[in-house]
Amino acid sequence: MHGYAGREMAVHSSTLQPRVSFDTSPEKYRHWKLTFDGAVATLSMDVQEDAGLSPDYRLKLNSYDLGVDIELADAVQRIRFEHPEVHAVVITSLKERIFCAGANIFMLRGASHAWKVNFCKFTNETRLAIEDASANSGLKFIAAINGICAGGGYELALACDELLLVDDGNSAVSLPETPLLAVLPGTGGLTRVVDKRKVRRDLADVFGTVAEGVKGRRAVEWNLVDAVYPTTQFRDRVAKRATELSATSDRPASGGGISLGPLNVSISENALHYSSVSLEIDRVRRVATLTVKAPEGELPGTPAAIAEAGDQFWPLRAFRELDAALLHLRVNEPEIGTIIVRTTGDPAAVIAADDVLLAHRDHWLVREVVHFMKRTLKRMDLTARSFFALVEPGSCFAGSLFELALAADRSYMLDDPERPNSVALSGLNGGPLTMSNGLTRLETRFLGTPERVQEVLEEREPFDPAAALDAGLVTFAPDELDWDDEVRLAIEARAALSPDALTGMEANLRFAGPETMETKIFGRLTAWQNWIFQRPNAVGETGALTAYGSQARPEFDFNRT
């Protein structure tokens, strides 16, 4: 079973996979209203029941599918870039007595395993992007829970800085996944309850098993929400708190946002071509080549010039395109398991762009660009495909683009004395582009020899193949005689392995070192949820997810595992 072919989606000619687009903008939103009032933006959920990605289900009660979450992700991103004057965001609902009922169960029931997994991954990334904006961009989020808040609805609220619940005798927060559906609150819910809100584990155990949830005073006592207010006071209290939070921001007091235009892409059956990124697919070998081009021509050197360049500023443009290519791969090209990563262009131009970003990283817009690059690279770390970087003459694995080689599972660098070939680092490799584990990719790579991190960062000359191999910056450096065979065989061997075993292996090897709430969500919680998404007690003929909404009661195999 594949994912959903929505009514408005183009159908992929060769494989009949749906082509989901992640490109949207506020005037196209069908499920959210984004409004502004000075320093406070309000994101109101008003899901259109009949506008799901598939006609197979109706998005009742503010339940959501991937399409709804794509709009949410877009809105958060636009607030960051387009509205620096916004310092606080209120997330609420326009529906009567319902905040959000969570992920649509009929969507989940009908979805393939891979679709469920990728859906959850994207929604997790969106919630983490909210927390990233709070931690790094001076944007505070309030969940104004003005009605029933269940499952994924509560998980969305948990991503906010403050959860304010209306005390109307009806509105509760709940995680009914386990008691009703025999699955987990897998969009960070279990992790955030005990690790972010630090709810006592026994109370969390109770909360996670009572379908009706917890409301009023008890919700505050258990720290499931920060405050409850009577209906008559709710709007005023939310507004007051939003104003207070907005005053804590270090974002500009007014104006100056840049506008994020649609990406310029040409799509053919086996390729996507953006201005600086291309993706070319070899369906027979199940291999794609992802190429990122360095900037060309003059680069802006000041925040004002960067603002003027706007979404055409190379780091922003190239990483937006990279982000889109990665999402496309995940959702629209499930069979393409091995990704060759290439770069082209002038390494000096990338290093120069990185230096500008570093020099002005305290400027709000530059800060946004750098954090967006960081999130895109995290998206790569979390993409369940094998990445092999090929460093060849003419390539441009320098600075921020060298992160692509570091994010790859392996790298091969051609060592041909006749054809110069090098990699280079910039200050961006030393700091802001952290992984989910809180470390830079260099720190993760050199976990066993931490002194190497500084050593390689201090070396501002390019590394030739021998030096790169010696410094541990690339995996292999075959010579020109071995190159073709060695690379070809490695790719063929990779593409022949079980995709599931590779997903599990990569998920374990890529995140050495410390764990964070983020890695716990993607490692522990997601892995258990994926397991449960395979278990007959959830998805079998008599499983709870299958039985939901029908007359049938679930029947469980009670063997514990």
Q: Scanning residues 363 to 422, which ones bind its own copies (CB under 8 A)?
A: 384-385, 408-411
User: Which part of the chain contacts its own copies (CB under 8 A), choosing from 31-39, 103-111, 131-139, 439-447?
Assistant: 439-447
DSSP 8-state code for residue 85: T
* Closest to 276 measured CA to CA, from 448, 163, 396: 396
The nearer residue to its own copies, 234 or 463, going by C-beta atoms, is 463
Q: What part of residues 195-234 is at the interface with its own copies (CB under 8 A)?
A: 195, 197-206, 208-209, 223
532 near its own copies, judged by CB under 8 A:
yes
500 near its own copies, judged by CB under 8 A:
yes
282 near its own copies, judged by CB under 8 A:
no
The nearer residue to its own copies, 246 or 338, going by C-beta atoms, is 338
Among residues 510, 518, 546, 547, the one that binds its own copies under rule CB under 8 A: 510
Q: Are strands 227-230 and 287-293 parallel, antiparallel or unpaired?
A: unpaired
436 near its own copies, judged by CB under 8 A:
no
The nearer residue to its own copies, 81 or 446, going by C-beta atoms, is 446
Is residue 532 within 8 A of residue 184, CB to CB? The reply is: yes
Is residue 94 within 8 A of residue 33, CB to CB? The reply is: yes
The nearer residue to its own copies, 350 or 544, going by C-beta atoms, is 544
SS (HEC) of 214-267? EEHHHHHHCCCCCEEEEHHHHHHHHHHHHHHHHCCCCCCCCCCCCCCCCCCCEE
453 near its own copies, judged by CB under 8 A:
no
CB of 363 to its own copies, least distance (A): 34
Question: What H or E segment, with its residue span, contains residue 341?
Answer: strand 338-344
72 near its own copies, judged by CB under 8 A:
no
The nearer residue to its own copies, 41 or 66, going by C-beta atoms, is 66
* Closest to 388 measured CA to CA, from 490, 462, 496, 271: 490
18 near its own copies, judged by CB under 8 A:
no
Instruction: Tell me which long-range contacts 273-282 makes (C-beta under 8 A, separation of at least 24).
Output: 274/321, 274/324, 274/325, 275/317, 275/321, 276/314, 276/317, 276/318, 276/321, 277/318, 277/321, 277/322, 277/324, 277/325, 279/325, 279/328, 279/329, 281/333, 281/336
- Joined tokens for residue 422: 């090098």
Q: What part of residues 469-498 is at the interface with its own copies (CB under 8 A)?
A: 472, 475, 493-494, 497-498
Q: What part of residues 75-134 is at the interface with its own copies (CB under 8 A)?
A: 113-114, 117-118
Q: What part of residues 289-318 is at the interface with its own copies (CB under 8 A)?
A: none
CB of 333 to its own copies, least distance (A): 9
- Joined tokens for residue 332: 């629209």
Q: How many CB atoms lie within 10 A of CB 169?
A: 10
Residue 90's identity, in one-letter code, is V
The nearer residue to its own copies, 98 or 391, going by C-beta atoms, is 391
Alpha-carbon torsion (459, 465, 468, 474), positive or negative? positive
CB of 130 to its own copies, least distance (A): 21
Among residues 349, 507, 546, 547, the one that binds its own copies under rule CB under 8 A: 507
Among residues 464, 515, 542, 548, the one that binds its own copies under rule CB under 8 A: 515
505 near its own copies, judged by CB under 8 A:
yes
CB of 337 to its own copies, least distance (A): 5
Among residues 26, 430, 438, 513, the one that binds its own copies under rule CB under 8 A: 513
Residues 6+ apart with CB under 8 A from 255: 84, 85
Helix (H, G, I), strand (E, B) or coil at 102: strand
Residue bearing tokens 């397991």: 531
The nearer residue to its own copies, 86 or 532, going by C-beta atoms, is 532
